[in-house]
Chain A
Amino acid sequence: QVQLVQSGAEVKKPGASVKVSCKVSGYTLTELSMHWVRQAPGKGLEWMGGFDPEDGETIYAQKFQGRVTMTEDTSTDTAYMELSSLRSEDTAVYYCATGNGVQFDYWGQGTLVTVSS
């Protein structure tokens, strides 16, 4: 059984960056395809990007390209999502999620990122 435990809530100022972590247990990170999904307050789910096992690369949603970086530390089985140039519209709960890359069987508990001056 995969368990994903995310880092705690963050408050950032506009223009800053945030880095959210997602610790994996039950499996090793190399066995998984990790993705990131966000949800603004009262809004729907939005896919940000994730690892494509077909070509071994990370794919980002066009909306976030140039602003988001997803990395992995296989020595600690921890995935990271860093979002830069934050603006108020980036206030959301950020989830890590994993499955086979086209469906997400396991989700982290979510990390609230608040962007406010």
Chain B
Amino acid sequence: QSALTQPASVSGSPGQSITISCTGTSSDVGGYNYVSWYQQHPGKAPKLMIYEVSNRPSGVPDRFSGSKSGNTASLTISGLQAEDEADYYCSSYTSSSTVVFGGGTKLTVL
């Protein structure tokens, strides 16, 4: 199972919006509405930000939103804040009943 494809890095200024893409195949992202997004700060464990494509766990700001079209899922962060600077990973359930992660995207808040 190959890792999902994410851009290595994205950047934006405070207050702006950014979008991170996550491309898979019809056997994972495109085949199931089980895409999740995780935020990871240096030295910390990942934190669930989005589940089932577009749902936010309790406590996650509504500045974070998710969507999917075909084999590509997207995470959008609006109103960027300094504390959003982190690594972001997507993941998907697969047709083999496994889970696959994306390679990760480093978000820099300028």
* B-binding residues in A (CB < 8 A): 35, 37, 44-47, 49-50, 52, 54-55, 59, 61-62, 95, 97, 99, 102-105, 107-110
User: Among B1, B47, B48, which residue has its beta carbon within 8 angstroms of that of A99?
Assistant: B48
**A100 nearest CB neighbor, chain B only:** B51
Interface size on B, residues (CB 8 A): 25
Number of contacts between A and B (CB, 8 Å)?
A: 63
Chain A residues within 8 Å of B97, by CB: 52, 54-55, 59
Main SS class of interface, A: strand
Q: Is the CB of A35 within 8 A of B99?
A: yes
Known: A47-B101, A99-B48. A61 touches B36 (CB 8 A): no
User: How long is the Cα–Cα vector from A97 to B46 in the complex, in angstroms?
Assistant: 10
Q: Is the CB of A104 within 8 A of B93?
A: no
Bits for B31-50, please: 1 = Cβ < 8 Å to A, else 0: 01010101010000111100
Q: Does B30 contact A (CB under 8 A)?
A: no
Q: Is the CB of A102 within 8 A of B3?
A: no
Chain B residues within 8 Å of A97, by CB: 46
